[in-house]
Structure 1
Amino acid sequence: PLLVDQISMYQIFQVDEIGQISMLSTPSSSLSLHVQGVVGKQYRFAVQTRYVNGSGSRVSLWSSNVSIPATFPIALSPPVLQLVSSCSRCIQVSWTFSNVAPNNGGNANISFEIQDTVDSLSITTGDVRTFTLSNLRTQIFHYISIRAKNSIGFGPLSSSSSIFLNPTFPDAPTNLRVVDGSYAVIGGVIQVTLSWVVPRSGDNQKLVNYRLYNTTTLNDLDQGTIISVAFGDANEFTVKNLVGGMEYTFRLNAINSQNIEGPSSNSVFFVAGEVPPLAMNA
């Protein structure tokens, strides 16, 4: 047997699963070597020793097969966030990732998970580099992070990127008018019916309410009359308890499911009385 102090150099050789031999190192006195290879591929190794006295060298037996295991993917850079012009409740998320070792941990079967901490949202995508998040809350900052996943599991979560989503305003109701023949005095109560064309609510949200204002008396304390909307398509409302002889100027605003009030409709001038009143539909 040889003593360690009789050996001057080591040299490492590798043979892959198809029998191809390659030299991994130049002669060195080091007793270890870091080897890179393809995940899942089988390798065997041999060590050649060189002696101090110059009497030659000896090659060890080949090692047993060694398979390089897969690891977790690397951490990604923070994603790039962009607003989507056609959808005010959407965020386009994009990122960069090179699906090669060691980035993918040696496993090319990569997917990605996008997280929005504000809406407690977690979405897994395929091997893509852009994705659009939709139906998000507005009037708030969203903080978006991303991480890669392979067959072993998830890599580290990236730092977050933030973006503010502006509110989605419904359109103004149009053609607000007094319905012909709707004026009535029932049990001493004066009433009239208003109608309008239902506006768009914005990004396919539902209209949940309207707010009817009498702009003649509107002040800081007058918040208008809330009109509940059944199924989002109500387009008439009967105003009751009008005062005879008083002038009214009505306008109407729509409120969507995010409790955002849109701009006002056209105004309608109306004078209540005991006889058919004066109504001017603008």
Structure 2
Amino acid sequence: MCPPNSRTSHEGSSVCECRSGFYRAAGDANSSACTTPPSAPVSLSWEYESGDGGGVSLRWRPPVDMGGRSEVWYGVVCRICPSPSITNPASCSWCGEGVTFSPVQTNLKQTSVTLNNLLTRVTYLIQVQAMNEVSALSPFPARYTSINFTTSQSVPSTVPMMHQLSRAPDSITLSWPQPDRPNGDILEYQLRYFDKASDVDSAVSVYSETNTLTVGSLIAGSIYAFQIRARNERGFGPFSNTVYFTTLPLEEHSQQVQNQLPLLVGSVMGGAAFLLVVAAIVVVVVFRSKRRASPYSDRLQRYISNRGGVKYYVDPSTYEDPSEAVKEFAREIESTHLKIEEVIGSAQFGEVSRGRYRPPGRRELLVAVKTLRLGASDREKSMFLSEAGVLGQFDHPNVLKLEGVITRVPSARIITEFMENGPLDSFLRENEGQFSVLQLVGMLRGVGAGMRYLSERNFVHRDLAARNVLVNSNLVCKVSDFGLSRLMRGMDHNMPTYTASLGSKIPVRWTAPEAFQHRKFSSASDVWSFGILMWEVMSYGERPYWDMSNQEVMKAVAEQFRLPAPTGCPSALHSLMLQCWQAEREDRPSFESILSSMDRLIRHPVSLKTDIMRSCSQPLLTPTPTDFSSVSTVSDWLRALRMERYQDEFARAHLDTLDRVSRLTVEDIQNLGVNLLGHQRKIFNAAQQLKAHLTQGQVEV
């Protein structure tokens, strides 16, 4: 007699074969019953884990039908979906390796698992599969139950650091940056502090809505411990690591007061004289205002008006006398405080030197000094100093810092911070192959942060390129060279723009098509330039478009051709470049969006895994990306390219999945029998675009 779910056609047979749909595992005896894979788990539910990290706990019950076996284990599949209303699971993409599973994702013996590092306000589709020893023998996929949920806002991550701005015998003023993951608007910060000799149980808490706070009522010369955390709508994040600061000792404070006494007396007398002068000026201004308004009133009103605390850039060229902008925004420093060491280069209006600047009461700084050449005309001097009028309005760690100007001598000078590694393009060429992809993306992220800051101030750079980004000894990149920069004016499709004069020069290789065709510049044209800068960085300073002439570049760009990925450039980065090079400026991402994309790549380094090496030494340009959002088969892909006539060639080559198509090489295409060179290029470029889309999970394989 045969065991359950088995049969034989021969009487007295020693082995009974399993019926269709039933199986024996490799370790099962021939006399054992045949079994099936288990049914799906039941009662799948989810709930948020307490604490930071965006964790979600999943729980379920074992399958109702164990398939006649005692063992069972589980696997968890995670996908990200475009909207909370999931009508087509195929539109969801894999979560990637950023999401972690505790204890494990596969071969899970227990009926619960925790997902960590989930993104906020994102819809996830989770499938829990049940398997046993015979699941691998079945031609059907493991049975599963699914659930979807949308993550809510999480608490902020840890505040990364704290800085001491100043100290007194009874107080300390501290500052700190926003958390790396604020997960929404930061409502307030909680700062707690205690004497180093005590413990955290004795801590005193104070609260601040800004990232600067003065803690008072402290004891002179004492060491205090400080911790800080941020709160958003969901609650407080974790406290930061403990840092220690010391209040000013009384004897040191007394010495400072003695040293500053003559200055204080002079300041009081000078202040009295200043008030008299101001009073006289007010009288004159009131009298004159009855006759006419100040020519600067509108401009200054725009400057001092805030939207969300942001000061808007004032174009020095709008001043009747541009030197007034320099006086308003740049600090005049004494030439005796500056020491020139050596000439290190040349600029448009003179030479560039390295020097040392010792501000009163501060430590000596290493600086770069631009000097106006002798004999320069008044117009050249005005143009030379206008850059200081621009730089003096900005304060950001990724924008070159202006220390001051010297204008009371024949050879005017602009003094900025010194960037040890010089221009980004030459620095990369000198160090080709010396950095990881993650380091290169970190450099690009710095440039993007500086450009986001500038664009938020309604400012367009117009000459963004690797040559105009400087690198310091810590590999921090800073946007510089504002000679072509302008204030954006007007409204065109909700995008502020300005029109360049016909006589102005345009760096064609870095310039968006609407800019070199119609001289229309905006933050979107800076985004195009940033895409070219990304290409420069990933190719270690190679010249964009190689030896093509400017006319050839403009023609190629107008005909929708784009630069290919540099050698070793990850598809995800090249895809971001292609987004920056969209023909319609409204379709390009903002700098805010670009930074978000880069942050996701940095948080998930596996997405920056280098693809098969590709050469960018030949001028093979990639057309503007085709819309693959509705592509699900190879036939759809060929139809989107208007190349349905090659379906037979693809079928004969067994190119029947999008994944296989995305890995096509030039040699593979030549073997297809596609004889026209133009079609070979088009198919290869489209395959590269498809690969970038698949990498980002935009198309289901």
TM-score range, shorter chain: 0.3 to 0.5
Which structure has greater strand proportion? Answer: 1
Normalising by structure 1, what TM-score?
Answer: 0.42
Which structure's CA Rg is the greater one? Answer: 1
By relative contact order (CA 8 Å, sep 6+), the higher-ranking structure is 1
